[in-house]
Structures are given as C-alpha cells and as structure tokens.
Structure 1
C-alpha cells in the first residue's frame, strides 16, 4: 500500500500522465491531490508544491476518464477552501503573539486602515489573484486572519475564489485532450510557466516599490 501511494505521489509530482492511467489509482489520486492542495493553500512552507499544474492535470485526467469531474472538481474546491481557512486560523493565532503585535504597532495607523479597507472591499479579487501566486496563496488569507473580523465574509471570498481558480485551471486541463497536439503542448507549457512568471512579477514589483520608497526618503529626509 505504501509503495502504491509513493508511486502515485511521484507520478503526480512529476506530472507523469501515463503512470496515472494505471487502473485502480483514482482513489489515491483523489486523496493525495486533496492533501497537496490543502497543504499548499494553508501553509507557507508548502509553497513550492506545483499545485497550479496539479489542478490542470486533474482536469485532463477527468477528460480522459481516469477521474470523475463531478467528484474531482468539488474536491479541489473543498481542499483549496479548507487550506485558506487553515491559513486564516494561523493569522488569528499569530495575532495573539506580543511579537506580532509589536510589529503591527510600528505600522502607521493610516496605512493599517488602508489595508483593512482594501481587504474588506477587494477581498474576493485579492484572494482570486493570490490563488495564482505561490506563497501569496497562503500569506494573504493569513493576513486576513489578522485584520478581518467578519469570518462569514472571508468564507464567501475563499469559496468563490477557490471555485473560480479550480474551474479556470481544471477547465483548461479538461479541454487539453481535445486540442491539436502542438496547441495542447503550448498551452500546457504556458500553464506550467504562469505561476513562476507571476511570482517573478510580484517580486520585481515589491523590489521596485522598496527602491522607489528608499529614493523618496533620500530626496525628502524630513518627510
């Protein structure tokens, strides 16, 4: 049993489509995919997991009959939503630590009010965008756990964003087998590269913002 789990896990990690076509592997695929999606969505150390491509793979496996889309798609949504909820709870838990409270106390009140307003007003959009950025996928719900008091509102955002994320990626994976092979290969490569590109854009944006802020501070030392 352990060897079967290991084989399926390795096949999922390496996107080995042929290995996943083995009869009787569907149940293990459901369980392992749900665990990976929940971990990556809920815990920052699990950010390197290739969950975007796994969601696409699940859509393709559903298209060829290995998985049932009426089971696989809801399972992905539930796993992603549970992961976001776990991250949210971590934010609530961390917010009780004096060290975290001291960090937050150093942020100007005006900026914190702006953050709160953005999280409340644009929570769905923010969570949806964060779904496509490894690492941010778990950090943003954690930040909402620290700052957002309306738990039902968070759940609505989390479930809606998870549903859109799954139906977009898994839906594209479901369509891949019906596309001509050259187009299918290009689409697959684009989907695999998208999270890395998005992460690089986010890092560059953050670095640029820090540099511009430092330059403004140098030009206006009294500001």
Structure 2
C-alpha cells in the first residue's frame, strides 16, 4: 500500500500521465489530489505544490475514464473551499496576537479603510484571481480573516471562486485529449507556466508600488528640509 501511494504521489508530482492510467490507482488519485489542493489552499509553506497543473491533470484523467468527473470535480471544489476556510481561520487567530495588532496599528487608517472596502466590494474577484497564484491562494483568505469578519459573505466568495477555478482548469484538462497533439502540447505548457508568470507579475507590481511609495516619501522629506 505504501509503495503504491508513493508511486502515485511521484507520478502526480512529475505529471506522469501514463503512470496514472491504471484503473486501480483511481482511489489513491482522488485522495492525494484532494490533499494537495486542500493543503496548498490553506498554508503558505505549501505554495510550491503544483496545484494548478494537478487540477488540469484531474480533468484529463476524467476525460480518458480513469476518474469520474462527478466525483473528482466536487472533491477538488470542497478541498479548495476547505483550505480557504482554514486560511481564513488562521487570519482570525492572527488578528488576536498583540504583535499583529501592533503591525496593523502602524498602518494609516485611510489605507485600512481602502483594504476593507476592496475586500467587501471585490472579494469574489480577489479570491478568484488569488487561486491562480501560488502562495497568494492562501494569503488572501488569511487577510480576509484578519480584516473581514463576515463569515457568510466569505463562504459565498469562497465557494463561487473555487467552483469557477476548478471548473475552468479541470474543464480545460477535460478537453485536452480531444485537441490535436501540437495544440494540446502548447496549451499544457501555457497552463504550466501561467501560475509562475502571474506570481512574477504580482511581485513586480508590489515592488513597483513599494518603490513609488519610497520615492514619494523621499521627495516629501526633501521638500520639508
């Protein structure tokens, strides 16, 4: 049992499609991919897990009959929602720590009001976009737990964004076997690279914002002197 689990785990990690075609591996695949999605959606240290490509792989395995889409897709949605809820609870817990309260107290009130407004008005968009970025997938629910205390509203955002995310990626994976080989290969490469491109764009945006803020502060210092 342990060796079989290890083989399936290695095959999922390496995206070894042919190694996962055995029908007897289906139960292990269900368990492991659900664990992957739930873990990566709830804890920041699990960000390196290849969850986007795993969702696409599940769609492809469902298309060729190894998995059932009526079982696999709902399992992934529940795992994504459950992971986001754990991240949200972490945010609620962190908000009680004095050190976190001290950090938040140093942020200007106008900035905090802006964050709260964005989370309330655009929480669905924020959660949906975050699901495509490793690390941010668990960070955004955590921030919501710190600042947004409307749990029913969070659940609405979480379920809908998870359904759209799984439906989109798993749906693309489901269609891949029907595409011509060159198009299928290019599509797979684009989907594999998309999370890293998105993460790089997010980092560049953050660094640009920090740089502009530092330059603005430097100019104000010079004017005062």
TM-score by length of 2: 0.98
Q: How far has the Cα of 1:216 moved from its partner?
A: 1.0
Once superposed, which parts of structure 1, at least 4 consecutive aligned residues long, lie more than 6 Å away?
Answer: none
Partner of 1:133: 133
Cα deviation, 1:68-114, whole Å, max 9, x if unaligned, reads: 00001111100000000000000011111100110000001111111
Q: How far has the Cα of 1:219 moved from its partner?
A: 1.2
Q: Which runs of 5+ in 2 are unaligned?
A: none
Partner of 2:201: 201
Secondary structure of the structure 1 residue equivalent to 2:24: coil
The within-5 A match list for 1:1-223 is 1-221=1-221
2 CA distance for matches of 1:147 and 1:211? 25
2 CA distance for matches of 1:48 and 1:120? 29
2 CA distance for matches of 1:23 and 1:211? 53
TM-score by length of 1: 0.99
1 CA distance for matches of 2:188 and 2:196? 14
2 CA distance for matches of 1:198 and 1:72? 26
Q: How far has the Cα of 1:23 moved from its partner?
A: 2.6
1 CA distance for matches of 2:23 and 2:73? 20
Give the number of aligned pairs: 223
Cα deviation, 1:28-47, whole Å, max 9, x if unaligned, reads: 00000000000000000000
Q: Once superposed, what is the RMSD of the aligned Cα atoms?
A: 0.8
Q: Which runs of 5+ in 1 are unaligned?
A: none
Q: How far has the Cα of 1:218 moved from its partner?
A: 1.2
Cα deviation, 1:18-60, whole Å, max 9, x if unaligned, reads: 1001231000000000000000000000000000000000000
